Each structure stands twice: as structure tokens, then as C-alpha cells.
Amino acid sequence: MNFATIGSGKIVKNFLEAARKLPDFYYAMAYSRSMETAEKLKNEYEADYAVCSLSDIADSDKVDAVYIASPNSLHFSQAKKMLLSGKHVLCEKPACTNARQLRILERIADENSLLFMEALRHIYDPAASVIKENLTKLGSLRYADIHYMQYSSRYDKLKAGIVENAFKKELSNGALMDIGIYCTSLAAYLFGEPEDIKSMSQSLSTGADGEGCAMLSYEDGLLLQMSWSKICDDLSPSRITGEEGTMLIDSIANPNKVEIEYRSGERELIYDKARDALPWEQESNGPSISGQFQNNMVYELCYFIKTAEKLKNCSDTEPRPNYEKELEGVSRISMKTADAIRREQDMIFPDDRIEGRALLATDYDGTFHFGFDNPPCRKNYESIKRFRESGNIFAYASGRYWDELPESPETYDYYVCLNGSLIKDGKGETVFRRPIEEDTRKILERLRANGAKNIRAYTEEKAYFDYSTKDDKAIKGEFLKTRHFDDIRELCPDTSPVYMLSVSEKDVESATGLCERLKKENLNCCFIRNDVFIDIMATGVGKEFGVKKVAEIENIPDENIFTMGDGGNDKGMLACFNGYTVKNAAKDVKAVALGVLNEVYELSDHIMKLNS
């Protein structure tokens, strides 16, 4: 595979030293802003070309893949340029500045059958899989301490008044983004996504952080402390403790020894780099490694080439090969964790900022409002008021009917109701409508045939209920008493277009089964399950559709659209835009969100900081 490199620092040379061990690596092009530096790199590592223009790489048909090791703030723009030019990208950690950028790069790669991969050498090191495979020996996991603390020679220069890139906040640098990423990514690989994150950090004179720590909690009860520093050393091993013993890892960046100390006093050496020959598992036609190498960058490069070659040889009719299951999502979870730490510490980089007005669209029930016994947080109203006064746009995006929102129109700019089928402005005027095109009578017939209960239909003027399918166990009688529903038999879809139908089942399992059956009915409409409810709208309609319409009306670009929600009908708008969720959301909702927050005001306040 023909590679180009971007960057000329020590890390690039380490990468090229590792690449020499792989027969399938061919060095085609060396890039540096200085042609003299590019020529030196080319001559030392025998590249074909030296260039000082990124376009020379992007436009070249002699380059298949690019390794990026430039300053952090350049990763996103350079990776995006290379992906859009048809190149696979292996990007040095951190993959970019924030999770918003990472989502864009992964989406571009996926749409073009390309590989974008973060160079996390310690995750691809054979020791990482040994650690993960042996966690069960510890019993129920209770506590972990993962750290990477290494005094930097650049800190001495900083104290002398010389500021190098490592401590320049404008380059998205600092201890967290440099070596803290080792901690966040290993935690993501071993334990998945945390339930909660609390953090602290120490800022330097440049505004960059010199050190920090965070406490992560997990659903299974595990508490994980991670710490990172470029202004002090800690040579003690990282450890993971369970009810049956403790695992000791001498170095998370490049493990040499991993052992377990059991409660019984017994010790087991489960990994020793000098002892163990753990070849990276390869396809028969892929590059192979015959033993261990001290430079563990060789493993990430080996994996990258193998996966990129699979993509290259995959036909249009075959499913796109993906990361191995245990590696899927590590970069996303790691970046989301780093984002959460930076939000809590008000650590905003120039590369985080947005230009122009922003649009914030939030779900109502379960996001802005946590139930009738818990009135919305006062801070939400206060923050949204400031948000709108700053020239930004605020919208509710709900599955509710247009007259069911218990908020004054003066408090919002738009109401995206019925999951995007109907949009009202702050004056109550309809600015967009998309009724169901399928014959409503046909949908009702198929719903009843599939045993659907509690069928509701919504036109722009009225709400209807199918009393013949009423199930007292599935829907509270008070709901029907407090809301006026005409009998669905009076509905005349020929004169009153239906915008949404809704069905409620007794539990999530029943709703999931019914939803899957309905999707096979070949009806010209879409079905979205939200907890025990199934909402039926026109094909292509969803909250993301409605939010996009509001953005078009207000001329707000996609990168300035932020969303927040907690349910299944929110997943589309969370995935399409800069989406966040709340702590009580389900795992599948959290998986598509960029972060987890407590209240809406945390997001609106954060957005105002980004465009201040």
C-alpha cells in the first residue's frame, strides 16, 4: 500500500521505523511545510517524492493512504481533505479536536468506502487484548487507576519563557489531548462508555492544561480514576481491581509486563514482552509479524493496512467490512470522554468554536421536562432566554400534537411537532407541513389486522382515537379524559390529511415486535418506535427532517445545529446533527449522542461559549 506522511516530527520517524518491518508498506510521498525538511525525510526513509503542498498528496494517484501527524488542530481539515480525495487515513491521536469533527470524518469515510482510523498504538498492541481477556479473573470489577504522567522537557522550556507546540492551546494541545488520550481510549476499549464523569485540571500560563484527573463511573458499579500529566512523573503501574484480585500494568502506552495479584497471595504474569511471542492475527494474504517489536506502532499500522485492503477488495454488492467488534467505537467513546472533561473544565479550543447563529432543538418529555411531578428546571428557561437574546434559534422537537405543548409560544421560536410532520412558529402559524401520502384507511386496516391497540390519528385540526381498540392496561384512562379525541370513525382523510398515527403497546417488547411486523407491510410511510409507542409518519419524516427544515428557514448550516433528546424518536436528530442526551436515556440513544448532560441549559450555555 502506497503511503504519504504529513508531518516531520519524531513521531513520524517512529512511524516510518515501524513501517520498515512491514513488506506491504511503500513510502510514496513525504510532506512538510518546508521543502528542505520534506527532502530530508524523503532521503532518510527512501520515499519517491518530497512535497510541501497538501494538494500534491490529495491529487496524486500514487498515494493510497495517508498518515497524519501534524498539530492536533490541523487533523480535522487535513483528514477531511484526504478522505474527500479518496485516500485512506491513519491519523495520529487525538483523531481531531472534538467528537463533532470525528463524526464528520467517520461519515465521509463510510460514504466513500474508505478507512479513517485513529492511531492508538497501545490499543492495537497485543498486550491490550491480553488485558481485556483476563479481566474475568479479577471477579466483579470495583476500582481502576489508569494513568500516564510523564514530565516533559518542553515544560522546562515553558518555565524559561519558550512556548512550544505541546503547550499551545490554539493548536488544541495540552496534557489531556497529548497523553490523556491514552487513558480515555484504554478505558473505552476495556470498559465501554461511562455513566458519569467528574474531572479536575491544572491550567498553565498558556491556557493549556498541564495535568488533570477524572473519575468515571460505570453501570456495573466500577469506579475508574484516570490521571495524566506533562508536568510530573508517576512511574507506578496502572491497576484494575476486582473482588478476586488486582491487575498491574507497568505502562499503558507500551506495556512490557502485566501481572495479576490474587487475594490468595498468588501472582500470575499474564504478559511479558520479553517472554511472549504474540503475533498479530492476520488474514492469509495480509502482512504478518513474526514476533514482538519494541516500537509498538507496527501493530496499528499492520491492522490499518489489513482493513484498508479489505475495503479495497470489497465489491459494491458486498457488505462493507468494519472494525473488529471489540475495537468498534473506541475512538468515539474516547473523544466523547475528553469532550466531557473539557466541558466541565471550560477548556475550549479555537477549533471548537462555531461561526454565526446556532439552532438548538430539544425534545420536551424526558429532556426539557422530566415528568409532571417535576417541573422543568428554572435554569433551562433562563439559559434559553439568553440563548435567543444572543440571536440564536430555539425549537422544541416533539412527538406531541401541536396544541399539547404546555409552554408559552413566547419562549420558543419554532415547535417541530408530530415528529417533524408539522412545524409551527412562535406565533402559532404553520410554516411547514408533510402529511402521510399513503391512504390512511389502508394503514388503519393493517394496524388492526396486526393487533394494534390504542390507535390515534392527527390532522392539523383535530386528534382522533380508535375507541374500538382501547386497551386500559396500555394507556391510562386519564389521558383520554383530559384530551379531546373525536372518534376515528369520523375521520375523513380525503378532506383532512393525516400527519401522524400513533399506537401504544403494553411493553417495549410488544411495541418492538409490532413495529417490525408493520415495516413488512409495504406501506408508503415510516415507523419509529419510541419506548412503548410506535409513531407513523410520511416516508422520510422524523425529528431530524423537521429540525433541518427549521435550519433551512433560518439559513443555519448543519455544523451549527445542536439537538438534545432521550427517546427512540430522537435518535435520528441526535445522529444527524450535534446531538446530546440525558443520563436516563437508553444505551442505544447514548450510543448515537456526542455527550450526556443533566439539563438542557448545560448545552445552551456551552453553545453560547462556542459562538462568543
Q: What contacts 24+ positions apart, CB below 8 Å, involve 380-386?
A: 380/599, 380/600, 380/601, 380/604, 381/411, 382/601, 383/600, 383/601, 383/604, 383/605, 384/360, 384/411, 384/412, 384/600, 384/601, 384/604, 385/411, 386/604, 386/608
Nearest partner of 323 among 188, 455, 482, 444, judged by Cα = 188
Least confident among 288-297, 307-316, 401-410, 417-426: 288-297
Q: Read off the pLDDT of residues 351-382 as tens digits, 9 standing for 90 and up.
A: 999 999 999 999 999 999 876 567 788 999 99
Q: What is the pLDDT of residue 317?
A: 56
Residue 136 belongs to a domain: yes
Q: How far is CA 58 from the centre of its chain?
A: 27
- The residue from 285, 313, 341 where one domain ends is 313
Do residues 193 and 591 make contact, with C-beta atoms less than 8 angstroms apart? yes
Say which residues have a Cβ less than 8 Å from residue 519's Cβ, sequence separation at least 6.
527
Whether the predicted pLDDT of 397 surpasses 70: yes
Q: What is the pLDDT of residue 473?
A: 52
Higher pLDDT, 55 or 283: 55
* pTM attached to this predicted model: 0.91
Q: Could you give the CA distance from residue 376 to residue 396 in angstroms, rounded to a whole number?
A: 13
CA–CA–CA angle 231, 232, 236 (5° rounding): 150
Amino acid identity for residue 124 in this structure: Y
Is 144 found in the same domain as 250? Answer: yes
Q: Look at the alpha carbons of 57, 62, 66, 70 in this order and tell me if their dihedral is positive or negative.
A: negative
Mean per-residue pLDDT over the chain, rounded: 91
Whether the predicted pLDDT of 390 surpasses 70: yes
Confidence band, pLDDT 50/70/90 cuts, at residue 334: very high
- The domain in which residue 265 lies consists of 124-271
Q: Is 12 helix (H, G, I), strand (E, B) or coil?
A: helix
Q: Which triple of cell numbers denotes residue 25? A: 508498506
Residue 323 belongs to a domain: no
Q: What is the pLDDT of residue 21?
A: 85
Question: Which CATH number fits the domain that encloses residue 359?
Answer: 3.40.50.1000
Whether the predicted pLDDT of 315 surpasses 70: no
Say which residues have a Cβ less than 8 Å from residue 429's Cβ, sequence separation at least 6.
none
Is 362 found in the same domain as 382? Answer: yes
Is 498 found in the same domain as 575? Answer: no
Reported as half-sphere exposure (CB side, CA atoms, 13 A), residue 500 has a value of 27
Q: What is the pLDDT of residue 311?
A: 82
Q: Could you give the CA distance from residue 163 to residue 154 in angstroms, rounded to a whole number?
A: 8
Is 97 found in the same domain as 34? Answer: yes
Is 361 found in the same domain as 428? Answer: yes
Q: What is the pLDDT of residue 404?
A: 84
Residue 153 belongs to a domain: yes
Cross-strand pairs, 27 = 3
Amino acid identity for residue 1 in this structure: M
Residue 346 belongs to a domain: no
Tally of domains within the chain: 4
Chain position carrying cell 483523531: 95
Chain position carrying cell 427532517: 545
Question: Which CATH number fits the domain that encloses residue 29?
Answer: 3.40.50.720
Average pLDDT over residues 49-61: 96
- The residue from 537, 572, 600 where one domain ends is 537
Residue 344 belongs to a domain: no
Cross-strand pairs, 500 = 458
Beta carbons within 10 angstroms of residue 188's beta carbon: 23
Average pLDDT over residues 31-48: 96
Most confident by average pLDDT, 224-233, 479-488, 526-535? 224-233
Is 267 found in the same domain as 154? Answer: yes
Is 57 found in the same domain as 70? Answer: yes
Is 429 found in the same domain as 562? Answer: yes
Average pLDDT over residues 543-569: 97
Average pLDDT over residues 153-179: 95
- The residue from 484, 508, 537 where one domain ends is 537
Higher pLDDT, 285 or 224: 224
Residue 325 belongs to a domain: no
Is 568 found in the same domain as 507? Answer: no
Whether the predicted pLDDT of 41 surpasses 60: yes
Q: What is the pLDDT of residue 491?
A: 86
Residue 283 belongs to a domain: no
3-state secondary structure 314-346: CCCCCCCCCCCHHHCCHHHHHHHHHHHHHHHCC
Q: Read off the pLDDT of residues 474-525 as tens digits, 9 standing for 90 and up.
A: 455 445 555 677 888 888 888 889 999 999 888 899 999 999 999 999 999 9
Is 453 found in the same domain as 416? Answer: no
Q: Look at the alpha carbons of 229, 234, 238, 243 in this order and tell me if their dihedral is positive or negative.
A: negative
- DSSP for residue 367: T
Q: What is the pLDDT of residue 280?
A: 42
Most confident by average pLDDT, 265-274, 503-512, 600-609? 600-609
Higher pLDDT, 395 or 404: 395
Question: Which CATH number fits the domain that encloses residue 132?
Answer: 3.30.360.10
Q: Which triple of cell numbers denotes residue 462? A: 383535530
Report, in this order, helix, strand and coil percent for the chain, each rounded to 5.
35, 25, 40
Q: How far is CA 193 from the centre of its chain?
A: 11
**pLDDT over 70, % of the chain:** 92
Is 468 found in the same domain as 402? Answer: no
Whether the predicted pLDDT of 284 surpasses 60: no
Residue 328 belongs to a domain: no
Whether the predicted pLDDT of 323 surpasses 70: no
Is 593 found in the same domain as 512? Answer: no
Nearest partner of 214 among 229, 232, 227, judged by Cα = 227
Q: What is the pLDDT of residue 293?
A: 53
Q: What is the DSSP string of 43-110?
A: HHHT-SEEES-HHHHHT-TT-SEEEE-S-HHHHHHHHHHHHHTT-EEEEESSSSSSHHHHHHHHHHHH
Do residues 47 and 41 make contact, with C-beta atoms less than 8 angstroms apart? yes
Q: Read off the pLDDT of residues 106-156 as tens digits, 9 standing for 90 and up.
A: 999 999 999 999 999 999 999 999 999 999 999 999 999 999 999 999 999
Q: What is the pLDDT of residue 285?
A: 38
Confidence band, pLDDT 50/70/90 cuts, at residue 286: very low
**pLDDT over 90, % of the chain:** 79
Sort strands 223-229 and 430-433 into parallel, antiparallel or unpaired: unpaired
Q: Could you give the CA distance from residue 273 to residue 257 in angstroms, rounded to a whole number?
A: 6
